[in-house]
Amino acid sequence: MGIGSKNPKAKHGKNKQKRNDCRQVAVGMAFDENGFPLAHEVFEGNVADTKTLKTILGRLALNQDGLKPVVILDAGFASAANLQMLKEAGYSYLINITRGSRKKYADDFSAKDFEPLPGRADNQQVEVKKITDPEDPESVLVLCRSAQRRLKESAMISTAEQRFLTDLGRLQARIAKGKLKRVIPIERAIGALLKKHPKVARYYELTHEGGILCAERHDGALDAALELCGDYVLKTDHSMDAAELWQLYMTLLRAEEGFSSLKGSLGLRPNYHQLENRVEGHIFISVLAYHLLCWVGYQLTQNGDSRDWKTVRRLLRTHSLVTTRLPLKDGGVIEIRKPSLPDTEQAVVYRHLGIDWKQAAPARKFVMK
């Protein structure tokens, strides 16, 4: 947002893009189970995430059918104060507490009493089970094991380890060739190496003695971490079964994917306006665009089409309106504008969206003198 001096909400705050030179505003959104936005609010740019939940909840209404609504939260919002506020407001919660919890429940994960979710391929299999939360009798935990997530996390650790070993080899070569001789510069270089690779540095112990840098790999700790790849823990106070809770949690991932599109292709940022009402107007238009994107995705899903927005946009990019210009002897021009014939896959997308492409862009004839 640049300076934003005339916008009271424009503040310097935490920025994942490291653009600390610019002021920003924060946007909070709530989504339903299909990913459609229910409400959005613009906050000051330096607001903490945990402090936005109360405002967003104030924009929502409790179900009128007597059912207790479930609020799905990212781990960053799951503070004790927020969970207590949800309970007092009549909401149930569902959160991911994976960070630091997989080791705690390692024995439960090693058991064989998991329930596989039906209708999933072997490479996409997810297994779940419920256990009582030993630290909170009013809540239950859903232990989840995902084959696809296991492969992804294992690959990430393997890639991170290869990068660490590459940088380690370079440092060892520098020390062996005498390019680093004094103890203090060597220790600084070792510290920088460990800081650069935090995911795998914890599984290695580096020692320097006599001009030689040695690395000892803690195989047991690394193997234990790899064994827990793909495991994660959900916490809730709702009484649904484990499979239903897992399906419900997946709606958060759809919302996160949608918010990523909102920040990218739908133009939420960068926001170059300086006045508060114009900044919020820009955000409102982006949210409207997101509503349309959600409708496209929902219609496709209802018709068994799993293609995402990026794929659909790329597929339809070649279908266009064609204008034919016919000059007349009297100096006039006739313009005939009509859509090109869609290919097979484009026609399938239009059919799934309930769009008659001929009527949506009917042939038009213009006569200009």
Residue 53 burial by Cβ neighbours in a 10 Å radius (0-12, 13-18, 19+): buried
Reported in sequence order, the residue ranges of the chain that DSSP labels E, i.e. its strands, are 25-31, 37-44, 70-73, 92-96, 115-116, 126-132, 140-146, 204-209, 212-217, 231-236, 321-327, 333-339, 364-368
Q: Are 326 and 333 in contact (CB under 8 A)?
A: yes
% of the chain with per-residue pLDDT over 90: 27
pTM exceeds 0.85, yes or no? no
Each residue of 313-343: pLDDT tens digit?
Answer: 899 999 988 888 888 887 778 888 888 899 9
Task: Provide the H-helix boundaries in 264-343.
Answer: 276-302, 309-316
Which helix or strand (DSSP H or E) is residue 239 part of? none
For the chain, give the mean pLDDT: 85
Distance of CA 70 to the CA centre of its chain: 20
Has residue 66 got a pLDDT over 70? no
Has residue 63 got a pLDDT over 60? no
Residues 6+ apart with CB under 8 A from 48: none
Average pLDDT over residues 198-215: 90
Please list the residues that pair with 306 across neighbouring strands. none
185-193's contacts with Cβ under 8 Å and 24+ in sequence apart are 186/213, 193/164, 193/167, 193/168
Q: What is the pLDDT of residue 7?
A: 84
Helices 276-302 and 242-263, axial angle in degrees (round to 10): 130
Residue 350 burial by Cβ neighbours in a 10 Å radius (0-12, 13-18, 19+): middle
3 state DSSP class of 264: coil
Each residue of 96-150: pLDDT tens digit?
Answer: 886 667 788 888 888 888 999 988 887 788 999 999 888 888 889 999 999 888 9
**Whole-angstrom Cα distance, residue 95 to residue 228?**
19
**Nearest CA among 53, 52, 54 for reference residue 13:** 52
**Nearest CA among 128, 138, 118, 146 for reference residue 242:** 128
Q: Which domains does the chain have, with CATH numbers?
A: 25-99+238-300 (3.30.420), 149-226 (no CATH), 318-368 (no CATH)
Q: What is the pLDDT of residue 79?
A: 80
**Whole-angstrom Cα distance, residue 29 to residue 98?**
23
Q: What is the pLDDT of residue 216?
A: 93
Radius of gyration of the chain (CA): 28
Would you state the torsion angle of the CA atoms of residues 133, 139, 145, 146, taken in this order, to the nearest 10 degrees? -150
Residue 278 — left, alpha, or beta (φ > 0 → left; ψ -120 to 50 → alpha)?
Answer: alpha
Task: Say how many CA atoms lie within 13 Å of 152 toward its Cβ.
Answer: 9
3 state DSSP class of 215: strand
Quote the tokens at residue 194: 């460990």
**Nearest CA among 274, 200, 205, 233 for reference residue 101:** 233
Average pLDDT over residues 211-232: 90
**Nearest CA among 123, 29, 74 for reference residue 253:** 74
